[in-house]
Amino acid sequence: MTPLKKAESIIEHGIFASRWLLLPIYVGMVVAQGAYTWKFGLELFHIISHTPEMSETMFLQGILTLIDFLMVANLIVMVVIGGYATFVSKLDLDNHVDRPAWLDHIDPGTLKTKLAGALIGVSGIHLLQTFTTLGEALKKPGVSTPDYQLVQWQVIIHLTFVISTIILALADYILEKKLALAHKEGIEDRSA
């Protein structure tokens, strides 16, 4: 091996090993998940302890907040597991009884689409919270009405997430079809 080839090999191995710099970030996200779980527990305690004096709308708002916590927590898990398995190291979970089925089909495109879908869910929960507040304000005089311009922007942002996710999914679908076609043509060329 020439000195130039050896230097190139060392550089390439170093670049490939740099993926391990992501490890502290993924571990940090697991710690953040722990803190988020703590906040969920505090919110759950607040809802349970104040249920008797809460109106139906306030109780619904509390439940929607808990669902929001859950969806963001699922998003964190998806990012940590999917991102680690995609960008850092394969997870050795083949025989694990609780191995998520989606892990077999995860790649950067799929991960982006799943994340975008989760963001739509979170945005939808926030929009639903706004709509329940709006409904309460319309039913009862004296209840402060939400800023309609804020509601408009929430709808626009939500629709932007929806359209972006559709475009991401479509782009991923087209790319997968192209790759499958190229793979098929490669096999046919070798067999001819």
Specify whether the CB–CB gap between 133 and 151 falls below 8 A.
Answer: no
* CA pair distance 115, 74, nearest whole angstrom: 10
Domain count, the chain: 1
pLDDT value at residue 132: 80
Residue among 65, 170, 60, 71 at smallest CA distance from 120: 71
Segment 38-51 shows an average pLDDT of 96
* CA pair distance 150, 168, nearest whole angstrom: 27
Least confident of 29-33, 56-60, 154-158: 56-60
Specify whether the CB–CB gap between 80 and 26 falls below 8 A.
Answer: yes
Q: How confident is the model at residue 138 (pLDDT cuts 50, 70, 90)?
A: low
Q: For 144, which DSSP code? A: P
Q: Which domain holds residue 87?
A: 3-191
Tens digits of per-residue pLDDT, 142-180? 656 667 788 888 899 999 989 998 998 898 888 888 888
Tens digits of per-residue pLDDT, 117-128? 888 888 888 888
Question: CA distances (Å), 103 to each of 42, 76, 81, 96, 108, in order?
Answer: 31, 15, 8, 12, 12
pLDDT value at residue 94: 78
Question: CA distances (Å), 12 to each of 7, 8, 15, 16, in order?
Answer: 9, 6, 5, 6
Helix (H, G, I), strand (E, B) or coil at 148: helix
CB-count burial class (<10 Å; 0-12, 13-18, 19+) for 73: middle
pLDDT value at residue 141: 65
* CA pair distance 123, 155, nearest whole angstrom: 9
